[in-house]
Amino acid sequence: MSKMINGFSKLTKSEKIDWITKTHFKNPEAARKELESYWSTDPKLQNRHDEFIENTVTNFYLPLGIAPNFLINGSIYSLPMVIEESSVVAAAGNAAKFWSTRGGFKATVLDTIKVGQIHFLFTGDSIALKQFFEKRKEELLQTTKNLTKNMEQRGGGIISCELIDKGKEMPDYYQLHLKFKTGDAMGANFINSCLEQLAKSFEEFARLDLLTQADSHLEIVMSILSNYVPECLVRATVSCPVEDLAIEKNGISGISFAKKMVAAVAIAQCEPHRAVTHNKGIMNGVDAIVLATGNDFRAVEAGVHAYAAQTGKYTSLSTATIEEGQFKMELTLPLAVGTVGGLTKLHPMVKWCMELLGNPSAEKLMEIMAVGGLAQNFAAVRSLVTTGIQKGHMKMHLLNILNQFEATKNQKEAAVEYFKNEVVTVQAVGAFLEKNTH
Ligand code: MEV
CA of 303 to the centre of ligand 1 (A): 20
Residue 232, pLDDT > 70, answer yes
Q: 242-263: per-residue pLDDT in tens?
A: 999 998 777 889 999 999 999 9
In this predicted structure, which of 274-283, 299-308, 355-364, 429-438 has the lowest mean pLDDT? Answer: 429-438
- Nearest protein Cα to ligand 1, atom 10: 380
Question: Could you give the percent of the chain with pLDDT greater than 90?
Answer: 88
Which residue among 278, 317, 391 is best mutated to probe the pocket of ligand 1, counting the most ligand atoms within 8 A of its Cβ?
Answer: 278
pLDDT of residue 397: 80
280 in active site: yes
Q: Which of 106, 181, 278, 393 is catalytic?
A: 393
Residue 394, pLDDT > 80, answer no
Q: Are 166 and 173 in contact (CB under 8 A)?
A: yes
Which residue among 89, 269, 384 is best mutated to probe the pocket of ligand 1, counting the most ligand atoms within 8 A of its Cβ?
Answer: 384
CATH classification code of 114-226 = 3.30.70.420
pLDDT of residue 423: 84
pLDDT of residue 1: 65
Question: Could you give the percent of the chain with pLDDT greater than 70?
Answer: 99
- In the structure, what pLDDT confidence band is assigned to residue 392 with cuts at 50, 70 and 90? low
Q: How far apart are CA 302 and CA 232, in angstroms?
A: 14
Which residue among 81, 271, 273, 280 is best mutated to probe the pocket of ligand 1, counting the most ligand atoms within 8 A of its Cβ?
Answer: 280
CATH 1.10.230.10 fits 64-111+230-387, yes or no: no
pLDDT of residue 190: 96
Q: Which of 280, 313, 345, 391 is catalytic?
A: 280
Name which residue leads in pLDDT, 437 or 175. 175
296 in active site: yes
Evaluate whether 64-111+230-387 and 114-226 have a shared fold: no
In this predicted structure, which of 13-27, 44-58, 382-396 has the lowest mean pLDDT? Answer: 382-396
CA of 381 to the centre of ligand 1 (A): 8
How would you write the chain as a 3-class SS string?
Answer: CCCCCCCHHHCCHHHHHHHHHHHHCCCHHHHHHHHHHCCCCCHHHHHHHHCCCCCCCCCCCCCEEEEEEEEECCEEEEEEEECCCCCHHHHHHHHHHHHHCCCCEEEEECCCCEEEEEEEEEECCHHHHHHHHHHHHHHHHHCCHHHHHHHHHCCCEEEEEEEEECCCCCCCEEEEEEEEECCCECCHHHHHHHHHHHHHHHHHHHHHHCCCCCCCEEEEEEEEEECCCCCCEEEEEEEEEHHHHCEHHHCECHHHHHHHHHHHHHHHHHCHHHHHHHHHHHHHHHHHHHHHCCCCHHHHHHHHHHHHCCCCCCCCCEEEEEECCEEEEEEEEECCCCCECCCCCCCHHHHHHHHHCCCCCHHHHHHHHHHHHHHHHHHHHHHHHCCCHHHHHHHHHHHHHHHHCCCCHHHHHHHHHHCCCCCCCHHHHHHHHHHCCC
Q: How far apart are CA 370 and CA 335, in angstroms?
A: 8
Which residue among 83, 87, 276, 277 is best mutated to probe the pocket of ligand 1, counting the most ligand atoms within 8 A of its Cβ?
Answer: 277
- Nearest protein Cα to ligand 1, atom 4: 281
Q: How far apart are CA 27 and CA 32, in angstroms?
A: 9
Q: Are 184 and 293 in contact (CB under 8 A)?
A: no
Pocket of ligand 1 (CB under 6 A): 85, 277-278, 280-281, 284, 380-381, 384, 389
Neighbours of 433 (CB within 10 A): 20
Q: Global pTM? A: 0.91
pLDDT of residue 164: 98
- Nearest protein Cα to ligand 1, atom 2: 281
Neighbours of 26 (CB within 10 A): 6
- In the structure, what pLDDT confidence band is assigned to residue 3 with cuts at 50, 70 and 90? confident
CA of 424 to the centre of ligand 1 (A): 19
Q: 20-48: per-residue pLDDT in tens?
A: 999 999 999 999 999 999 999 999 999 99
Name which residue leads in pLDDT, 325 or 395. 325
Q: 95-108: per-residue pLDDT in tens?
A: 999 999 999 999 99
pLDDT of residue 422: 86
* Residue count (the chain): 438
pLDDT of residue 72: 98
125 in active site: no
CA of 129 to the centre of ligand 1 (A): 50
Domain boundaries, the chain: 8-50, 64-111+230-387, 114-226, 393-435
Q: Which of 13, 18, 85, 259 is catalytic?
A: 85
Q: 115-142: per-residue pLDDT in tens?
A: 999 999 999 999 999 999 999 999 999 9
CA of 377 to the centre of ligand 1 (A): 8
Q: Which of 287, 296, 363, 367 is catalytic?
A: 296
- Rounded mean pLDDT of the chain? 95
pLDDT of residue 47: 96
pLDDT of residue 247: 80
